[in-house]
Chains A and B, each alone.
Chain A
Amino acid sequence: MNHTTRPTFRAGAARHRASRHTLLAPGALGATLLLAACAPGGATETDGEGGDGAAASALPASAPEEVTPGGALRFAVGSDQGCVDPQQVGSNDTIYSIRHLVDSLTDQDPETGEIVPWLAESWEVNDDASAYTFHLQEGATFSDGTPVDAEAVKTNLDRATDIGARGALIKGYLDGYAGTTVEDDRTFTVEFDRPNAQFLQATSTHTLGLLSPESAAQSDDERCASVVGSGPFTLENYEPNSSITLAKREGYDWGSSLWQHTGEAYLDTLEFSVVPESGVRSGSLQSGQVDVIGNIAPQDEEPLKAADAQLLARANPGIPFGLYVNHDNEVLSDPAVTEAIALAINREEIVETVYTTYNVPATSVLASTTPLYADQSEHLRFDPVAAEAALTEAGYAKGEDGVYAKDGQRASFDILWFNNAATNAPTLELIQQQLASVGIEVTLTEGQVADWAATVAEGNFDANWGNITRADADILRGSFHTGLANSYRLEPSDLDDVLEAQAGAADPAERAELAARAQAQIVTERHVVPVVELTTVLGVGPTVQGVAFDAGSRVQLYDAWIER
C-alpha cells in the first residue's frame, strides 16, 4: 500500500487576530446569551473572518509553517463518562481526550475510508476475513517502558472478551474471537471462528487502542480510574466530572501514517475540562478562557463566528438520526404506513429549522462520511402527495379527526426518544407536525438515556429515534441482522444473507457492492427512516492550528499547536 494522501480536515489559518475585548460588547453579548434559547438565529448575520472555519475543514492540508511547539491546549467538553479506559468508553466527550492515550494497530483515512498503518506496518487478511496477520513496527513502547509487541496485543485482545457491561462496543468488534497466535515479537495472527470483515476497521478505533499488559490485566474498575498506553500523550490527572489532564509523551515516535509530522506531539499538555452549560462553553471560548470547545449549539454559531472562532465540522459516520421501526407494532408493520412516513418527512425543513448550517439531511441508512456509503436519496425524497396516495392505495381512509384509518386501526404510533442531543426534541416536534399534515398521528415519549439499552432490548416502543457512530458499514448488521439482538423484530429475510456476506467479504469491491445492496434494501423496506446526519461541530480559538478530525469524527490533537 502506498499512502500519499494525508488528512485534510484541518483548522484554517487564522489570518487575523483581533483584540478579544473589542469584540465583546457587554450588552449585546449578554442579550445574545439570554435570548439565544428563545430566538435561534436572532443574532446579526456577521459572516466575518471566522466564517472561513467551515470551508477550512475541507481545505487541502499544507505543511504547517513556523510551528511553535509547547504550551497547553484547554478544551471544554460537555460531559464526563466517569471512566478513562478507551476500551470501555463510548461517549464522544470522553473519547476526545482518551483517544490520545492509546495507539491503534491501524488508522483510517477520514477522506477515503482506507485502513492505513499505525502500530502495524502491514497486515494480511485470509480469504473469508476470519484470520488477520499483523506485522508491528519496531521501537514503540508503552509509557511504563514495556515494548508494544505481539504478546502485548494478545494480552489486550484476550482480556477484552471478559470486559463487563461497559464493554459492549469492544465485544461487538471481537465477535467470534477465537484467539491470537504470536509468531514472533512483531508478528501475530488474530483468528475468528466466523468471518469478521469489520475487524480491520475496528483495529483503527480508540476502542481497540492498546494498553500496556500490566494496565490491561487490571480490573475494569481500576482501568476506569487510570490506564497506561503507548499514545502521544499520557494521563497526568483525572478528576471525575471535572477534568482530564494529559501530558506529552517524551520520546514518542511511532505515530499514525496519517499524521502531519513525526516525533513528539507539539503541545505539552492537553487540559480537558467538563463544562456542562453550552452557553458557558461558548462564552469561555469567546473570552479566551479555553481554546477549543465541543458540542456547539445552533444558537452559538453566529456569536462564535463574530468572535473570530474557527468552526470545524464533520458529519459522524455510521447510522444517521432516524426512526427505527419496531416490526412487532401492528400499525408500523404495514409497509404502506412506513412508506407514507418516509415520504411525509421534509428533511430539508428539519435541517434548516433545527440544526447548525453544517448539518445535512440523511441520504442513506449510512451517513455520507461512512466508508461504503451508497446514495439512496431517490428513496428519501419529500412527497406528501405520494405519502397520502400510498395510504389510500392500501385501503386507508381519512377519518373525521383527519387521521387515516383502515379497519378501525388508525395510522397512529409513538416515537420513543432520548435526550442525548439537544436537537432531538425540536426535530421530533417538527416531524410530528409534518406527519400530522398527511394524516398520520404521532405521540412522543421521552425515555431516560440510562434506560436506552434495556428499553430497546425489551422492544417496548413503536418507533425509536436514534443514531449510531461507527466508520464501518458493518454497523448495519448489528442493528438489522435477525440472528443478533434483533431489537427491531425484523422477519428473517435475504437481507440477513446480504449483511452476512458483507461481513465476510475480504475483497473490497465485493464488500462495497454488498454494502450498497444492504443499504438500498434497508431504506426501501423502511426498517429505519433516516432523517438527518449527526454532525460534530467544534469551536476552535483563532490562534489554534492543526486540529484534525479522525475517521470517526473525533478530534485528533497530535498535530495541533498554538500560534504565539
Chain B
Amino acid sequence: MARYVLLRLGLAVAVLWAAYTVSFVVLYLLPGDPVAAMASGGMEGAPVGAEELAALRAQYGFDDPFLVQYGTRLWSALHGDLGASVQSGQAVTAAIAQALPSTVQLAASALVLSVLIGGGLALVATYTSVGWVRQFLLALPPVAVSLPTFWVGLVLVQWFSFTFGLFPAMGDQGWRSVVLPAVTLAVPIGALIAQVLATCLQDALREPYVVTARAKGIGRIAIHARHALRNASLPVLTVLGLVIGNLIAGSVVVETVFSRSGVGRLTVSSVSFQDLPVVQGVVVLGATVFVLTNLLVDLVLPLADPRVAVGRSYS
C-alpha cells in the first residue's frame, strides 16, 4: 500500500513537471511578451519605440535565452515562488489564493447540485415502470450536455434575475449569488453523471444477484438503492476526474457570464493580457487539482469495492 501511494505521488510530481514545462514552451513560442502587453496598456497613447521596448524587456529578463528563463522560473517555482503578475505586480500565488475561494465555493455547490439532480434523475428513470416517463427522463441528459453553458447562463440571468428579480445577476456576495452560477455549471455535469449512472444502473439491474435478491423477497426500493446503486456508482467515481476538469473549464464561462471573480476570470484576463506567470500558475493549479482528484479516486475505490485491490498489479 505504502509503495503504491509513493509511486502514485511520484507520478503526480512528474505530471506537474510536464504540465509546467509544456505550458512554458507553448507560452514562450507564442508571439508577443508581457512587456509589450504592459506597454500596450489599454491601447491608449502613442506607440512606444522599438528601442524602448527592448530596454524594458532586458529590465524584466524577458530577453534572456529560453533555457535561462526556463531554469530560473522552474527553480523559483520549486521554492513555491511562481513569480509576479506583470499586469498588477501581485504575486501569482497571492492572486490565485485570492481567486480560489470563490471558485471552490462555486464548484463545490455545482458538484453537490449535479450529484443530487443527476443522481436523482438516473434513479427515478431506472426505477419507474412507466415507459414514457423513463424515455423522457433518459432523453434529458443528452439534451442538457449539448446546451452551451454560455447560453444557459444568459437565459437563467434573463429570467431569474432581470425578469423576476429572485437572484442577483452578478457578484459573489452571499448564497443568493451562488445559485444561478452553480445551476448553470451543474447542468452539463449533472447530465454527465445522470448518463453514466443510468446506464450502469440498467446494467446492474440485469445482473444475476438482483434476481437472487428479488427471489429472497427484498423490496424493489431496497434492491435499487442498496444493491444496484452501490455497484453502479463505481464508474461514476471514476469519471469524477473528468468532472473536476469540466468544473474548472466551466468556471471560465460561468464566472464571465455572472461577473464573479475567481480562477476562471483570472485565466481569461491573464491569457488576454499575456500575463505569462499567472497563466503558468493557473496551469499548475489545474494540473494539481487533476492529479489530486485522480489520486483520491484511486485510493477511495477499494473502500467502495473490495474487489479492487490496491497495489496488486504493482507487486
Nearest Cβ distance between residue A470 and chain B, in whole angstroms?
Answer: 7
56-99 of chain B: CB within 8 A of chain A: 56, 59-60, 84-85, 87-90, 95, 98-99
Q: State which of B37, B157, B168, B261 has its C-beta within 8 Å of the C-beta of A450.
A: B37
Q: Is the CB of B269 within 8 A of A287?
A: no
- Given A222-B89, A273-B171, A418-B43, CB of A168 within 8 Å of CB of B48: yes
**Do A284 and B41 touch across chains, with their CB atoms under 8 A apart?**
no
- Kindly state whether residue B162 has any CB partner on chain A within 8 Å: yes
Which A residues lie within 8 Å of B164 (CB)? 26
Interface: B170 (CB within 8 A): yes
B155 pairs with A239, CB closer than 8 A: no
Contact A450 B273 (CB under 8 A): yes
Partner of B154, one of A33, A220, A241, A243: A33
Q: Does B238 contact A (CB under 8 A)?
A: no
Q: Which residues of B lie under 8 Å from residue A239 when comparing CB positions? A: 98, 261
A451 to B30, CA, bound (A): 10
* Nearest opposing residue in chain A for B172, CB measure: A242
Q: Can you list 15 A-B contacts (CB < 8 A)? A: A26-B159, A79-B269, A81-B87, A82-B269, A83-B89, A90-B45, A165-B59, A166-B41, A273-B170, A280-B170, A450-B36, A452-B40, A453-B39, A454-B53, A485-B46
For the complex, is A457 an interface residue (Cβ under 8 Å from B)?
yes
Known: A29-B162, A275-B170. A451 touches B49 (CB 8 A): no
B46 touches A172 (CB 8 A): yes
Q: Which residues of A contact B258 (CB under 8 A)?
A: 280
Q: Are A30 and B42 in contact (CB under 8 A)?
A: no
- Contact assessment for A165 and B256 in the assembled complex, using a CB-CB cutoff below 8 Å: no
**CA of A457 to CA of B39, assembled, Å:** 11
Task: Tell me the chain A residues, 455-484 only, with Cβ under 8 Å from chain B.
Answer: 455-458, 466, 468-470, 475, 478-479, 484
Cα-based distance from A277 to B158 in the complex (angstroms):
12
Contact code string A77-107 (vs B, CB < 8 Å = 1, else 0): 0011111000001111110000000000000
A225 with B89: in contact, given A284-B162, A448-B32, A457-B53 (CB under 8 Å)? yes
Q: Is the CB of A457 within 8 A of B50?
A: yes
Q: Does B298 lie at the interface of the complex (its beta carbon under 8 Å from any beta carbon of A)?
A: no
Known: A448-B274, A454-B32, A485-B46. A221 touches B84 (CB 8 A): yes
- The docked-state distance in angstroms from the alpha carbon of A81 to that of B35 is 15
Question: Is A286 close to B, CB under 8 A?
Answer: yes
**Closest partner residue, chain A, to B150 (CB atom):** A277
Q: Which residue of A lies closest to B169 (CB)?
A: A284
Sort A-B residue pairs by CB-CB distance and give the 7 closest, nearest first: A221-B89, A478-B46, A91-B42, A242-B261, A454-B36, A90-B41, A450-B37
Q: Which residues of B contact A93 (CB under 8 A)?
A: 42
A287 touching B43, Cβ below 8 Å: no
Q: Compute how far the CA of A81 lies from the CA of B272 in the bound complex, rounded to whole angstroms.
A: 11
Which residue of chain B has its CB nearest to the CB of A91? Answer: B42
**A468 and B155 in contact, given A166-B38, A289-B170, A448-B274 (Cβ under 8 angstroms):** no
Contacts of A34 in B (CB 8 A): 154-155
Chain A contact-residue range equals 35 or more
Q: A221-B88, A221-B90, A287-B163 are in contact. List 17 more A-B contacts (CB 8 A).
A: A26-B158, A29-B162, A30-B159, A82-B85, A91-B41, A166-B39, A284-B170, A287-B165, A418-B43, A420-B43, A451-B37, A452-B36, A453-B36, A457-B36, A458-B50, A466-B43, A478-B46
Judged by a CB distance under 8 angstroms, whether B257 is at the interface is: yes
Kindly provide the distance from the CB of B40 to the nearest chain A CB, expressed in whole angstroms: 4
Q: In whole Å, how far is B113's beta carbon from the nearest beta carbon of chain A? A: 22
Chain B residues with Cβ below 8 Å from A33 are 154, 158
In the complex, what's the smallest C-beta–C-beta distance from A406 to chain B, in angstroms? Answer: 31
B272, A449: Cβ atoms closer than 8 Å: yes
Write out, one digit per residue, whether chain A residues 113-140 have a CB within 8 A of any chain B CB (1) or not (0): 0000000000000000000000000000
Of B42, B47, B265, B272, which contacts A479 at CB under 8 A?
A: B47
Cα–Cα distance between A91 and B42 once the two chains are bound (Å): 4
- With a 10 A CB-CB cut-off, give which of A24, A225, A241, A284 has the most chain B CB atoms: A241
Whether the pair A76, B170 counts as a contact (CB closer than 8 A) is yes
Which B residues touch A445, using CB under 8 A?
none
In the complex the two chains form, is A280's CB within 8 Å of B88's CB?
Answer: no
Q: How far is the CA of A289 from the CA of B165 in the complex (A)?
A: 9
Q: Which A residues touch B84, using CB under 8 A? A: 221
Any A CB within 8 A of the CB of B259:
yes
If A80-B269, A241-B261 touch, whether A165 touches B89 (CB-CB below 8 Å) is: no
A91 to B37, CA, bound (A): 13
Chain A: minimal CB distance from B155 (Å): 7
Is residue B243 within 8 Å, beta carbon to beta carbon, of the partner chain? Answer: no
Residues of B within 8 A of A89 (CB): 41-42
Check if B157 sits within 8 Å of A283, measured CB to CB: yes
Q: Is the CB of B168 within 8 A of A452?
A: no
Residue B131 at the A interface, CB < 8 A?
Answer: no
A176: min CB distance to chain B, Å = 15
Closest Cβ neighbor of B264 among chain A residues: A241
Rounded to whole Å, the gap between the CB of A357 and the closest CB of chain B is 24
Q: A276's closest neighbor in chain B, by CB? A: B256
Least Cβ–Cβ distance between A322 and chain B, in angstroms = 14
Q: Decide yes or no whether A520 CB sits under 8 A from chain B.
A: no
CB distance from A316 to the nearest CB of B (A): 10
Q: Is the CB of B154 within 8 A of A457?
A: no
CB distance B88 to A225 under 8 Å? yes
Contact check, A279 vs B46: say whether CB atoms are below 8 A apart. Answer: no
Q: Tell whether A164 is near chain B: CB-to-CB under 8 Å.
A: yes
| Alpha-carbon distance between A484 and B47 when the two chains are bound, in angstroms | 10
The answer for the CA separation of A446 and B15 in the assembled complex, in Å, is 35
